[in-house]
Amino acid sequence: MSKIGSALVLLGLLAHSAMAAQMRSRAEGVPGVLASNTVGLGDIWVTGGMSSYFRIRPVANDVLSKSVDSVYRNDFRQLYGSGNKLQRDLLLVPNIGAAIGLANFLHLEVESVPWDGEKLGATTARLKFTLPGNDDLRVFGLGASLNATLSTEEDIYSRGATTPGFDPLLYFSVMADLDWIKISNSLPVKFYLNYSGLDDYRLAHAYSQHQVRVAAEYKGYRKGYYLRGSAMFYKPLATRFNPDPGKDFLPTFFDVGLGYRATFGDRFAFTADLSFDPTHPISFYSQEVRKPPKLELRVEAPLVFTETHAEAMRALIFNEEQRKHLRELAAKNPAPKTAQKDSGSGPAGLKLDEISLEDRKGSHGKDILQGVLDDTEGEVTEKRKQIRGELKQIEELLE
């Protein structure tokens, strides 16, 4: 039975979890931070999700006092003061998006909020292009995008009468990243750096804006974690609330986000993201430009997908790292000398170096122990349970 047990442990390691093919876009960044790559030519990716946010906007005192009966307006001003007030609403809104590859170095993506709690939300179209070598798994990547946001916010800031929204806002973004997996296969970490000429379209008429974002992501085969940080630079513009703002920028505003991403099934990637202002996590409502806490849930999947060279290389690296871990585990638990000859290559001539993540897909749904434990000894059933328990522990170590 020791011979059978050793062979079974080795075979269980080789057939570990029967994972599906890696379905990950080379243009995958983290929420709010863009990668330099573009999707493959002809590929179509779609996203959908929900996010929460606080709508915080000023309300002029004369407008606010008109909502109170004229008999009580003086009492209202004495109680609440004569300054402008902030209106705060907590909303949960849907988000949808899509990206299509127009060339090997160019893609078009669209993001939209179908409903922002009051009306049709804003839509942003982004034409992104990158440097040559996009199809390769490159260490350093650089890209840029031309963006157009169709805002549906009313212009409450400009002096004079308010006007409806639907103002097109044009701006550009630059993104760079460093993919450490190309340097060290055992450390699949990617670093991002972004600059954008717009941070919050709702405040475009009140402030000129500059945004810098950085992120670091552990891009594991089936799951990953990331941490990002943002710095926002706002310069007040002349508005009805602040007719003479001066020429200085406001103190820098910050935003920190952390999240988790995992793939499930053959095509879907799930992302959970939480962000907040680390300097004012609670008193964010004191200014409309501060970043309130935000929770975002997102699902992404390809409608049309052809694996590019960059994605194939990443999958190959994970494949080799997986086999490396299998060898290390096998070396820590060598079979008895009498069984080494038979178990070294596995049952039926199965060799460790010939096993890949793709080869193991065919074993999904099959009993990997069938044919190995088919003997008449009475202890087979108990031995099967024991080995399956050991395999489960090994699977947790390999994840």
CATH code for the domain in which residue 230 is found: 2.40.160.40
Residues 323 and 260 in one domain: no
Higher-confidence residue: 361 or 83? 83
Alpha helices, H only, 294-365: 309-332, 337-343
**Torsions phi, psi for 266 (to 5 deg):** -95, -15
Could you tell me if residue 151 is inside a domain? yes
Residues of the chain with pLDDT > 70: what percent?
69
Helix (H, G, I), strand (E, B) or coil at 291: coil
Token readout for 19 is: 């994972």
Q: What's the DSSP call for residue 220?
A: -
Residues 300 and 324 in one domain: no
Residues 131 and 267 in one domain: yes
Confidence check: pLDDT of 269 > 50: yes
Residues 6 and 135 in one domain: no
Which of 281, 304, 327 is the C-terminal boundary of a domain?
A: 304
Helix (H, G, I), strand (E, B) or coil at 307: coil
Domain residues for the domain of 155 are 44-304
CA-angle at 369, arms to 364 and 370, nearest 5°: 90
pTM above 0.85, yes or no: no
Number of domains in the chain: 2
Max Cα separation, the chain?
100
Could you tell me if residue 26 is inside a domain? no
Higher-confidence residue: 108 or 5? 108
- State mean pLDDT over 167-188: 93
The residue among 58, 173, 75, 182 whose CA lies nearest residue 127 is 173
Could you tell me if residue 115 is inside a domain? yes
Residues 229 and 376 in one domain: no
Which of 285, 304, 323 is the C-terminal boundary of a domain?
A: 304
Which of 259, 285, 304 is the C-terminal boundary of a domain?
A: 304
Residues 142 and 217 in one domain: yes
Residues 291 and 317 in one domain: no
CA dihedral 147, 153, 155, 157 (to 10 degrees): -90
Confidence check: pLDDT of 297 > 70: yes
Residues 127 and 253 in one domain: yes
Could you tell me if residue 30 is inside a domain? no
Residues 9 and 136 in one domain: no
Confidence check: pLDDT of 116 > 60: yes
Residues 377 and 393 in one domain: yes
Could you tell me if residue 65 is inside a domain? yes
Residues 118 and 182 in one domain: yes
Average pLDDT of the residues of the chain? 79
Cβ proximity of 118 and 89 under 8 Å: no
* Identity of the highest mean pLDDT range in 82-86, 251-255, 285-289, 353-357: 251-255
Question: pLDDT tens, 195-246?
Answer: 999 999 989 989 999 999 999 999 988 899 999 999 999 999 988 888 888 8
- State mean pLDDT over 266-284: 89
